[in-house]
Amino acid sequence: MDVTAAINKRCTIRKWDPMPVEKERIVKVLEAGRRAPSWGNTQPWRFIVVQDKAKIEEIAAAAGGQAQAKAPVVIVCCGATDSFTFKQHGDALKELRDAGVMDATDDFLDNVLLKSDVFAPYLLGNQAMMIRASEQIMIAMAFMTLEAVNQGLGTCWLGAISPKLVHKAMNLPDSLFVHALLALGYAGENPKPRPRKAADKIIFWEKYG
């Protein structure tokens, strides 16, 4: 399936076929997330795949009991703010440099790039690091939703959750925060396409208005 077809076919699924999802399909969905663009090569996403029914019930309770959270697979999408520390961010940039993606000396990376609050979120504090991580997690989740379509699966992006309760249910370390859940499985419904605003209401050329 080409990307345009996947984009057009993707829709939110809220009812699930109980059939288990093959591991190879789950892995391909996760690989799409791993391949997503990453600002500064930090790759702050962490994905926890949950298939245990009792644990999924616990997670669903932290999502207000939403039925769509009770999918055969729930991917807990987390962010690692320590990806933006001076060392980890610096190491990530040096990996880009060593791979030939960018041309920069250690001195430039350490004393110019990582000393600028435009490029180094750690200088702005934990909230800035969470925002940067969240941006990238959302890109990765979008990639995963499209690969799920390619694998014949449905998804539901669950942002209306209690991150603290999910964090507790998963017994996560303090270095991670819960961003959202991605429910995954074979669709138990065939919903109609959702309405979208007309292109001329949201797209502008050269200037707004």
What are 89's two structure tokens? 């961010």
Output the pLDDT for position 209: 87
Look up tokens 């309760």; give the residue.
165
Output the pLDDT for position 71: 97
pTM: 0.94
CA dist., res. 140 & res. 83, Å (int)? 16
What does the DSSP 8-state code read for residue 84? G
Give 3-37+45-79+127-190's CATH code, choosing from 3.40.50.300, 3.40.109.10, 2.60.40.1940, 3.90.190.20.
3.40.109.10
Taking CA atoms, 108 is separated from 87, 89, 91, 93, 94, in Å, by 14, 14, 13, 11, 11
Give me the amino acid identity at 118: V
The dihedral sign for the CA sequence 168, 170, 171, 174: negative
Output the pLDDT for position 194: 87
Pair 92, 120: CB distance under 8 Å? no
Output the pLDDT for position 10: 94
Pair 85, 76: CB distance under 8 Å? no
Output the pLDDT for position 67: 92
Output the pLDDT for position 193: 82
- Bridge-based pairing state of the strands 73-80 and 176-185: antiparallel
Output the pLDDT for position 129: 94
Output the pLDDT for position 1: 84
Q: How far is CA 100 from the centre of its chain?
A: 26
Output the pLDDT for position 107: 95
pLDDT averaged per 10 residues, the chain (length 209): 92 95 98 96 97 96 94 98 95 94 93 94 94 97 98 96 96 96 97 91 95
CA dist., res. 169 & res. 90, Å (int)? 33
Buried b (16+ CB within 10 A) or exposed e, 67-96: ebbbbbbbbbbbbbbbbbbeebbbebbbeb
Give me the amino acid identity at 106: D
Output the pLDDT for position 192: 86
